[in-house]
Amino acid sequence: MIKKLVKSILVGMILLLSSQSTYANEVSKLNNHEISLKLNDKTAVVNGQAVTLPAAPILLNNTTMVPLRMIGDSLEAETKWDDSTRTITILLAKQAIYLTVDQTIATVNGTSVKLDQPATIINETAMVPLRFISENLNQTVTFDSSTQMITIKNKKIEVQPLGPKKLDNPTVDNLTLSIGKPDRYIYQYDGPSIRSKQESISSFVADRNNNIFMIDFKNDRPALSQYYISSYNQENGSSKKLQHVVNIDEKFNIEYKDKTGIVQNLKYFDLAPKQLFYDEQHDKVYLLANVDKKDITTVIYEVLPNVQMLTYHLDCVMDEESDFFATLNEKQFYYSNTLQERVYSFEIGKERDTTGVLSSSLKQQLVSTVKESAIYVLDTVNRTISKLDTKGSLQEVAKVNLKQINGAASRDGFFYVADEQGFYKLSTDGAIENYVKLNELAYKHGLYDPAKKMYEKMVPGVAGYMEYSEGNMSQGGEKEPSSLSLGNSIDFTVDSKGNIVIYDTTNRMIRRINLYHTKND
């Protein structure tokens, strides 16, 4: 019954949008926009001509909502509706706006924006937030509370650079003290040597609030689990100590059914976190964890803002650090298993489905990004870009013309990759932009304190500093980390400004390559 009702609503909405074509033809001929509306009144005036709207403007959570086609066609914008994802697209000149019904995160020119009131469907009509749409299409909106009248006019557009300004000379900041210790090799007389992991941080992701999240491991912690999800905040974080934001503890305990259907218990100390993923659209962090048990191999969790188990694998071994994970709507999730050469989808609380096959002569290393309500996947080994189709299969759309890729990240619908010389920005059609070369970098001296916006001298005796050789010190007694080098398996992320945050394994420090700044910097 519910499925039939939802289907009838969507069909009705599509028919309603189609019936508005006459209205669209009227307003599409108008060039100078001046629109007058009144709350709870279906009559609007567009450039002096009266037009009847399919629905009256209303106030919803103190936000004026208007019919999608009305605002789009009145401003001569192209509007699209994707029934499968319930996504609205509005295009005008160089502006591109994407909204999903009942989702509070929209995208404007590739940047995620939080809405006070999301787009919604009321009486089979798609309603969108008027001020958000209008102002992002370079219009001004005024409201007369005494008459309840709303006026939309053209805004004078001044030629100015969009977004943050790129630095002429990129610099490198030292963000943290030495973190982690190199792996230790234990030699055995009766067999091969064993590599013992002592301390490490890995799998960096950056959210929209200047936080850098990472998996933080230390083998001598007194707790049963030696893992945390830690963070460094670029506005006010401590350069001497990472903040532990999520403890791997009892919150991660789950029950699961083994292959015989018997309910089993998984304890948090059997988990080995492997990979973090950041969902830009919904501001959430997810974790893929390996499990040290015979009958269950992998568990996928949401870890921020809340901890909850999403799904698990019983018998399919995974290389979690090589796989992608993505969602468009927080309901349907997709991820890969490069060892089994499969793509899976699942909904929370339901069994996973195999939706696609990964076919390649070489072992794949995958990174995903979301652009225009579609999931794209970069294979850094085979240097290809694929798009996830509606059935959950990957279809190759582009080749990447680079000889080698040593690391990759994604942000706002783009991929960022590195080789030994520097970093590149890739669009989903395979176009390559030189992002920054190592030989262009100027290195700042000292340890950056984001709260004070100052550089602290890195000298012996400062609490928290690890010992270092005299060969690493300047004449003034300061520690001088060596220049960045980009070998294999580079661990980095790109923050919301477009700067690169990287774990420098040589100096065991988190460092930032500054390419952009804003007016407040």
Beta strands per DSSP E along 467-508: 492-494, 500-504
Domain with CATH 3.30.457.10 in the chain: 2-154
- Cβ atoms of 76 and 62 within 8 Å: the answer is no
Mention every residue, 6+ apart, whose C-beta is less than 8 A from residue 502. Answer: 204, 484, 490, 491, 492, 510, 511, 512, 513
2-154 CATH fold: Copper Amine Oxidase; Chain A, domain 1 (3.30.457)
pLDDT of amino acid 481: 83
pLDDT of amino acid 488: 78
- Cβ atoms of 366 and 322 within 8 Å: the answer is yes
Does residue 513 register a pLDDT over 80?
yes
Domain with CATH 2.40.10 in the chain: 316-394
Each residue of 383-427: pLDDT tens digit?
A: 999 999 878 889 999 999 999 999 999 999 999 999 999 999 999
Mention every residue, 6+ apart, whose C-beta is less than 8 A from residue 175. Answer: 232, 234, 237, 239, 447, 448, 450, 501, 509, 510, 511, 512
Q: How does residue 201 score in pLDDT terms, banded at 50, 70 and 90?
A: confident
pLDDT of amino acid 178: 65
163-167, 248-252, 256-260, 281-285: range with lowest mean pLDDT: 163-167
* Single pTM value for the model: 0.68
- Cα 288–294–299 angle (5° rounding)? 15
Each residue of 334-378: pLDDT tens digit?
A: 999 998 889 999 988 677 888 888 876 667 899 999 998 899 999
Top CATH class, 316-394: mainly beta
Q: Is the dihedral of CA 223, 226, 228, 232 positive or negative?
A: positive
Each residue of 266-301: pLDDT tens digit?
A: 999 999 999 999 999 899 999 999 997 778 889 999
SS3 519: coil
